[in-house]
Structure 1
């Protein structure tokens, strides 16, 4: 097999996040949404450093664990990540400055403490005295205050205070650290503006303005304040104490996460050198940590919550979910599923349709049990409410909760306890394997129903993530979904799956077989292709198999949102990859294999990454219903036609918008229009 050049997984992620940053510069994107894209870029970067860069740092730093080759690769990758991060930081700052100018032109002024009018100064003073005074606690570190463990969810002001000289002595300086009370007050404060537009200020600058009040009576006469932030290693360290329950281990790991080693230190580049050296020494920033001088403001993920200022014209137009075919407003949806498979595509269709299925199952006299998997849940989860309702109606309800869902561990522990208190049987997955598959099984003597989804059963996600859910009563599929739940209960047993692709049991082998069949047909001169959409492709063995397929003549037309290790150079006529960044996060996984003209369709939870193939429980389900297959084909084809929001993913990092000279075609907008037309036609039928 001829191997091709591949792109390192972590570098491909940096290129992906850059595509989000590029959206903030797009004139066709509404102004406040462009600010939000800056926030998304910043939030993603924080998580990347917390998880992936921290892992690379461990590889690069500890000589007794990984091989020399792994260590050198990690060191090279860290250098390149730091180089690109610095380059993109300059682009970020330039974009933010540009957007501030455009906001000002729209009457939305982002001020700092030096620009307050007398009325605004009085307002900020009153705000401090009435509310902020009890929330801003400085630590004067040069006077022996213990710093504690700064968290990467917070933003800090490093303050230099100059003492009044006395007795002929020269002025002296102290250094202090203030954690901004963002959790209590938000990052932005709207100021009185006299009815001429909207004036907004960062909370950072409110605190800067109030420094004389904060340090009142301590003898300081001058103040300087510079923003700093930390990103810490977020990997959970769980010990192997076999006598301790998994819930307790995870809970302790979450508590310890805030004490993770720093991996990135970002500071205001205007900070004096002696002050910078002092804080780097106090926080033990070493040579493997990313240490970058930046602008006046950090933690720009808060831009995702920038005030909308009542300007709906500067946001994406509101899109109300479209009525989903087959769900209707009356009659039994369970009966309709038993007649034919049904399909939802979020957020074009409402997530309430899935909740409706659970609610009817909870109340139905015929349903005996409900089993489902939980990876992430919404803050006020209607899914949990429906499951609790089912348990109270005497149904046997079993929920498999993934405790290791990154950054949602604490929330999942709380939900697990609440469900247990309501009489729901809660399982905590399989040791050593994350339960990432999105499954629901409803048992009934009238016919079992299975639900397979590409995304979490999460109301919030379903408003912003594009995901697909398929409901089926086909016995061959419901039996195998039932077997997956049996595997979750008894992972030591062997289970056979003929229809479903289940990792880590059968998925890798079956995907290899599907690709091998396309390669064989191509070599025999027949038509062969793989079409689909997925979030990430980085597994080395699958990447090599895709190169082999392309070299054999198999056409690969793929939508890949995030990490992609494929490099298309020299294979552009056989490998076509696009990445769509638009108002919704592309999240659905759809696979279409030519299969000699008798196409095979799959949807599921797994990306083509090593973790999904070997270290997670994932499921792909075949789709047989002709109308649903047509919708899946449309989703993929619309994405490949997109010449407005799709960028070329070729491994170069250029991220150029795909242009074909045709009239603008924006896939998410066109899909919404399609579903509106579909709903109108359905309502007009007698």
Structure 2
């Protein structure tokens, strides 16, 4: 048994590990061999992630750090230390980020893509910008006198702001104004006319800088200077089982100064004059633990994710069309094919449309009585919802469990809920106190076995083009009955429900995973085959970290693929010698959760929606299913083994944050996503490139 002290010394805080993870995304943007526009996208992802992290996780830490309740003294001191560590890392990474921006911008110029400033425009471009302002931009630009703003945090932190300093001829005094960039309405980048085989773009920031004389026309100003800044607000206290019972209430009562909406982080143009900076900062309610960074000319680099490609497809990853699955494209009934044999799709390598077709067939089939499904996030124009509405119109009994608390998708989910209710669908809004994060569908048939679909990711067409997720479609009676029981539990959470096959949280999932690990320890001691192979997004739950250390200290080989937060430290003598972790960042976001245990030679395999975090195991409705079909099990093993071999996109996750490139014994470069895609194509990368 690992002691509490040993675990404390060998446990990486979740938020530190997140900083290490986000840096892996930044390191992708710094790789010279990555297509140039993809490097820009990685820079945008890094920036967007960081905004969300400060808005939610740093908000939580700040509230704890400022709590004056004596009962949370140790937690307060820990939060204060953690904030300082995070800010130190952030200051280090921002330098790497600025360097990457300069490098990528320079490379764009080599490719004849120029980002020009307001003072670099020729006469033709100046005319174009003035016309753009009159025809599109002017109606969305509103200037506010800075003196009229009581507190900047009354404004939204979704915007980038220009602080404008103006002076009229003959006057010694200055006036100050604030302009929010209308990025949502006009985009962040304005493409100017091409010229001589060269493409030209401007940041919207610089378009507005050029147009300042037009914005303030007639007011007598002769000089203008504008400097960008942005701030990130406290979004909420993250209700999470990282906080023990009762602590949340103490913190809520103990915090005096921190309010929802206060600024947590401010980034400003380092060239901003001191008098202007002072005026801006006076409008923000900052304290000594908040983050204030001087940066470059441009902020909110998340917009780089939508940087115009200027027709240069050669600067992006080559398109991988979804691989056709012949057995599902035979023209036969998909429902009958699933009743015959377990089927799977692995998106985005395979098309998500196979699942849509299952729903569409169920919506019109006379053999189908009812459909139940869980929805966590939905595409803007969801084909999933359209199929479910069609089913309801055709007289099927349709039940949808939709999670209204899916962060940043709350409004969208409420809108979809109303549409489904209007169509006659029975909509259930989850379980009080528990997020429904499971990804399951149940279809009741009039003849033959009922059908269930169990996925590692959301039933979301957009995500399915970017996230790697695995779905098993089965008619295995015990599993299908268990899936139906999950819906019973959601509808009646206080009634006793027993699951024969599924691992379900918050019921028994954690205990069943612990038993699986304990079995590996016993088998290793008995000389039987023993190992653990896992592909997962996050591992931070202290119980699961302790069990993995215990298994490693008993000699069980443990090989993990962990994309995000990871609280394990590898290479500790006698504690984690047998643990090896690879973290992959590539064109697709690694999102599937796969668990394989040797089980003394039986090879037990599972997939599902749950990561090993307190929120997943204790505070959400999650589903993990065993997989029995030999072909599917073999494919899942291949997914993990390919990932463990990845030396091109893999980084060593060791708890230290260095993110060193992963190496393998073979010594030859191996890119798991590419190799996996072409294995599904039944070809090789080299052959495909020759074609």
How does 1:442-457 map onto structure 2 within 5 Å? Answer: 442-446=443-447, 447-457=449-459
The corresponding residue for 2:607 is 603
The corresponding residue for 2:139 is 134
* 8 Å Cα contact 1:141-1:147 kept in structure 2: no
The corresponding residue for 2:637 is 633
| Alignment gaps of 5+ in structure 2 | 240-258, 685-691
Greater shift in the superposed pair: 458-467 or 128-137 = 128-137
* 8 Å Cα contact 1:56-1:78 kept in structure 2: yes
SS at match of 1:153: coil
Q: CA deviation at 1:65?
A: 7.5
Q: CA deviation at 1:84?
A: 0.8
Mark the CA change 1:578 to 1:325 in structure 2 (over 3 Å): closer, same or farther.
farther
| Alignment deviations for residues 534-581 of structure 1 (CA, whole Å, 9 cap, x no partner) | 000000111011100100111110000000000003256400100000
Q: CA deviation at 1:332?
A: 0.5
| Alignment deviations for residues 133-190 of structure 1 (CA, whole Å, 9 cap, x no partner) | 2211100122568857221211110111123335xxxx11111110011111100011
Aligned residues: 656
Distance 1:163 1:603 in 2: 67
Matched, 1:77 2:77: no
SS at match of 2:634: helix
Greater shift in the superposed pair: 514-523 or 590-599 = 514-523
* 8 Å Cα contact 1:139-1:147 kept in structure 2: no
Distance 2:322 2:277 in 1: 51
Q: CA deviation at 1:318?
A: 0.5
Q: CA deviation at 1:417?
A: 0.3
SS at match of 1:608: coil
Greater shift in the superposed pair: 557-566 or 225-234 = 225-234
* 8 Å Cα contact 2:437-2:620 kept in structure 1: yes
Distance 1:416 1:573 in 2: 50
* 8 Å Cα contact 1:373-1:439 kept in structure 2: yes
Equivalent residue for 1:483, pick from 482, 485, 491: 485
Distance 1:303 1:407 in 2: 20
Distance 1:486 1:330 in 2: 34
Equivalent residue for 1:54, pick from 59, 65, 70: 59
Matched, 1:101 2:109: no
Mark the CA change 1:325 to 1:539 in structure 2 (over 3 Å): closer, same or farther.
farther
The corresponding residue for 2:592 is 588
The corresponding residue for 2:363 is 362
The corresponding residue for 2:47 is 42
How does 1:241-256 map onto structure 2 within 5 Å? Answer: none
Distance 2:606 2:62 in 1: 37
* 8 Å Cα contact 1:528-1:553 kept in structure 2: no
Matched, 1:20 2:22: no
Distance 1:504 1:471 in 2: 23
Equivalent residue for 2:628, pick from 624, 628, 632: 624
Distance 2:548 2:517 in 1: 8
The corresponding residue for 2:673 is 668
The corresponding residue for 2:653 is 649
Greater shift in the superposed pair: 60-69 or 179-188 = 60-69
Mark the CA change 1:156 to 1:574 in structure 2 (over 3 Å): closer, same or farther.
same
- TM-score with structure 1 setting the length: 0.93
Matched, 1:385 2:386: yes
Greater shift in the superposed pair: 139-148 or 261-270 = 139-148
* 8 Å Cα contact 1:265-1:285 kept in structure 2: no
Greater shift in the superposed pair: 262-271 or 654-663 = 654-663
The corresponding residue for 2:663 is 659
The corresponding residue for 2:283 is 282
Distance 1:596 1:450 in 2: 29
Distance 1:507 1:282 in 2: 49
* 8 Å Cα contact 1:61-1:288 kept in structure 2: no
The corresponding residue for 2:244 is none
RMSD: 1.6
Equivalent residue for 1:460, pick from 453, 459, 462: 462
